[in-house]
Amino acid sequence: MSPSTGRRRKAELVDGLLLLNKPAGITSNRALQKIKRLLNARKAGHTGSLDPAATGMLPLCFGEATKVCAYLLDADKTYRVTARLGEATDTGDADGQVIETAPVPALDSEAWQAIIAGFVGDIEQVPPMYSALKKDGKRLYELARQGITVERPPRKLRIHDIRMLESRGNRLVLRVHCSKGTYIRTLVEDIAKAAGTLAHAASLHRENVGDFRAADMLDFSTVVAIVAADGPEGLRDRLLPPDTALASWSEVAIDSSAAGKFSGGQSVPVAEAGTGLVRVYDDQRVFLGVGELSMAGELAPRRVFRSPTL
């Protein structure tokens, strides 16, 4: 059947990671589906959703790389946020409606630094109503759109560092390095409250997820241009291997005999001491998957990867 009939090609096995610089105005899942179609990939997932208004690093996982999604969800993240002081919105960001205003205190850099310092470390945060968390089977944002507010228990998280990049008038720009589960919109609101005013996140950009480099991100326009010039294969050549997501982990290499058993789901003896999850490779440097070391000198398979197709 000719392409003009509209029949889509059969999806193919595609393995690898793509670090998308998500544009504003699109959901994370919508961005994933667009890239999945461009790659003609059979299986895909993403880690760490970004709000529609937010931009920045969105790791997209295809094929075997979807097996590392769970580990990426636990990764620390870095954001650059521009707060508009003096205005609160119903969503906490620029997509919402202004619901309250307040004067902005004339604080110097030193005063802002002192306030911000109080939010570094282990803190508790109440998730916003406009979030994807569930209450009795319903997303909180669904309830919020109906004008319903429910109790949300505070959650513990860690703010590793906050750097103030700019403070001028009603504009406050921060770089935040934080643990998973942090709502930057809420952090901005809480910092403003401590300063005696209101705020919302006027813009939010995620710079990093875990050990990934910002330099490896691709803009959506670049992705489209690559496919237009070289087809899906050209974009597949730009994908990162799955083990890139686990670059900070320790690694263990095993011989071909042990590799066959490991890939078959069996534990194998190793010389390495210690416990915990590790990257596992064979003696040809082929990534076999995620294993867990035990004090007894055993390496148990936790996520086994088939041979790469890239």
Alpha-carbon torsion (245, 44, 95, 219), positive or negative: positive
Residue 290: CB atoms within 10 A of its CB come to 23
And the tokens for 209?
A: 């997820």
**Distance between CA 13 and CA 310 in Å, rounded?**
9
Among 15, 51, 90, 93, the active-site one is: 51
Residue 223 corresponds to which tokens in the numbers above? 């992705």
CA 156 vs. chain centroid, Å, equals: 18
Rounded CA Rg of the chain: 23
230 is catalytic: no
Q: How crowded is residue 229: how many other Cβ atoms within 10 Å of its Cβ? A: 9
- Lookup: tokens for 121: 């470390």
- Specify whether the CB–CB gap between 305 and 68 falls below 8 A: no
Provide the b/e sequence for 10-40 (b: ≥16 CB within 10 Å).
Answer: eeeebbbbbbbbbebebebeebbebbbebbb
Positive or negative, the Cα torsion across 104, 107, 113, 119? negative
Q: Which amino acid is at 205?
A: H
Here the tokens at position 216 are: 């490896």
Secondary structure element (H or E) that encloses residue 205, with its range: strand 199-209
Half-sphere exposure of 29 (CA within 13 A, CB side): 1
- How far apart are the C-alpha atoms of 216 and 222, rounded to whole Å? 12
Residues tagged active-site: 51
